[in-house]
Amino acid sequence: MAALLIMVLAFAGYLIMYHLYGKFIGNKIFALSAAAKPPSVEFEDGIDYVPTRKEVIFGHHFTSIAGTGPIVGPAIAIIWGWVPALIWVFVGSIVMGAVHDFGALIISMRNQGKSVAEFTSKYINSRTKFFFFVIVFLELWIVIAIFGLVIAVVFTMYPQAVIPVWLEIPIALYLGYLMYKKGKNVITWSIIAVIVMYATFIIGYYVPFKMPTILGIPATGVWTIILLAYAFIASTLPVTTLLQPRDFINSHQLVIALGLLFLGVIVSAFSGNLHIVAPAVQLAPAKAPPMWPFLFITIACGAISGFHSLVSSGTSAKQVRKEDDSLFVGYGSMLMEGVLATMVIIAVAAGIGMGYVPKGGGESVAGVAAWTAHYSSWAAAAGLGSKISAFVVGAANMIGSLGIPHGVCLVIMGVFVASFAATTLDTATRVQRYVVAELFGGLKLNFLTGRYIATFIAVGSALVLAFVTGAGGKGALTLWPLFGAVNQTLAALVLIIITLYLEKKGGLKWMVAGLPAIFMSVMTIWAVIMNQVKFLDKQNMLLTVINVCILVVAVWIAVEGIAKFFSSAGTGAGEPEPETT
């Protein structure tokens, strides 16, 4: 019953805090105005700038920021215990992550929908702009390459998910046609689209597709090439053609998946089959880094993630049709991600104990033995496949208590994971295109700012990274040890920008973002320094050099931000500076 109580209290807490803290921040701190003219209206072009209903843009924003992040992070960080993981997800998402996401969204909307890297020069100085671009490009470079691999791994592990995931594309294209060309009711037809998509699960269940080796390239490499080609096409299409309708379908898929998990927890708990088998706290698991500061780096999405600011100031800021919709989209989406991360914690802390087949096969084990078999050490639980399977198996066990065949449950959760990862891949590619265009535009190289050439640079660079170590498409794993630090460094730096923005409003409004900025800056710089020691010990010069660059950028922008804060604090500036709207 403990798992059920955790779920109910967490869900109630998120709902209460949205109406209390979220609305306080929106109305009192950022002073949202329905009369303000957003970029989606001012620069409407039918491709990137498109005024969109908040329900639809919520679906895009949430599925873009989620991906596999709130799955992978909690699924490995629970090795330190389910209590610290749950506390960080709950508290972090409410007072840090949601403030970060919403703040980046509204500041971008008040600056022509420009990216966080672009408006850095306005709130700190022009010197920091280039450094921000470096961090942002590096983050997206890794994300695009790694998410292509993530989907490839899911397809390899769950071949039943392949056909449903790819059939979602024509379904979404037709839904977009009905919504924007025929003016059909979006709710009605999106529900029909989801029903049709779930019908494709039957095809996938009976016709699993296993990608063969082609021209000496293994399955993961072939899938990575196909997925990056797809990302190029999808991210150059108008957002109304594929991105919005597909993400709206995925938002419905989330509701269904969470609903099944919710019911699964209830039925499993009352039947006496669901028990928390993970340790409450485990400060020194075998071969794991220390919980402080790495818990706050390992769990990013679900608590706070720098990548979210790129979605907020990349695609979402160009589509929110009214300023007061931004609270629901920015703050609400982050709390929904906290809900998902909470369900992941329950799945890997309790659901996995209902039955687990250890790596290498053998008889199924249950209870504490099941959790121990998967989390015997940091190394045993490492790897993309291991992290994903812990959630999928645990979730499938709980959903299976509803009488749904276990194989079907695996398909449902496999498609869920792959669909969200595909959304992140598409959005990250589109945002990287914006970043490339802004960067080269600032350098007066306008011939490199076009939609197709900028996207080619985004995808091409990711393709090079993916195959730098061989035909398996796993090259991004070379830089993966840096991703957590890069991602959370970006989150800390964005919080600094939001703090400086609010400081200009006068009073103590800046503390809403300032206190989280201090916490995240300390945690990330601490983790980067510890990583540096580890990379030096292992004589990994590539990671050592890049990690030093990350540390220099983080410290540089933090110092610049502090200097800016105190220099403006003494001027008595209480009026907001003019904004471009």
Mean pLDDT score across all residues of the chain? 89
The band of 569, judged by pLDDT with boundaries at 50, 70 and 90, is low
* Cβ-proximal residues to 552 (8 Å cutoff; 6+ apart), any chain: none
Cβ 30 vs Cβ 579: under 8 Å = no
Residue 267 φ then ψ, to 5°? -65, -45
For residues 527-545, give the mean pLDDT.
Answer: 92
Cβ 289 vs Cβ 531: under 8 Å = no
Q: pLDDT, tens digit, for every residue of 205-257?
A: 999 999 999 999 999 999 999 999 999 999 999 989 998 899 889 888 888 98
pTM of the predicted model, to two decimals? 0.91
For residues 297-321, give the mean pLDDT.
Answer: 93
DSSP element (H, E) containing 104 = helix 98-109
Q: pLDDT, tens digit, for every residue of 23-55?
A: 999 999 999 998 999 999 999 999 899 999 999
For residues 465-476, give the mean pLDDT.
Answer: 91
The band of 529, judged by pLDDT with boundaries at 50, 70 and 90, is very high
Please give the DSSP secondary-structure letter assigned to residue 570: T
The band of 463, judged by pLDDT with boundaries at 50, 70 and 90, is very high
How far is residue 306 from each of residues 18, 151, 338, measured CA to CA in Å? 21, 21, 15
Cβ 459 vs Cβ 429: under 8 Å = yes
The band of 120, judged by pLDDT with boundaries at 50, 70 and 90, is confident
Interatomic CA distance for residues 316 and 318, integer angstroms: 5
Q: Say which CATH class 2-569 falls into.
A: mainly alpha
Cβ 354 vs Cβ 397: under 8 Å = yes
| Residue 571 confidence (pLDDT) | 52
Does the structure show a pLDDT above 80 at 580? no
| Residue 581 confidence (pLDDT) | 38
For residues 182-188, give the mean pLDDT.
Answer: 88
For residues 449-476, give the mean pLDDT.
Answer: 92
Interaxial angle between packed helices 511-537 and 480-503, expressed in degrees from 0 to 180 and rounded to the nearest 10: 160
The band of 360, judged by pLDDT with boundaries at 50, 70 and 90, is low
Percent of the chain with pLDDT over 90: 59
Which residues are paired to 320 by β-bridges? Answer: 52
Percent of the chain with pLDDT over 70: 96
DSSP element (H, E) containing 253 = helix 243-270
CB atoms within 10 A of CB 376: 15
Taking the alpha carbons at both ends of the chain, their separation in whole angstroms is: 51
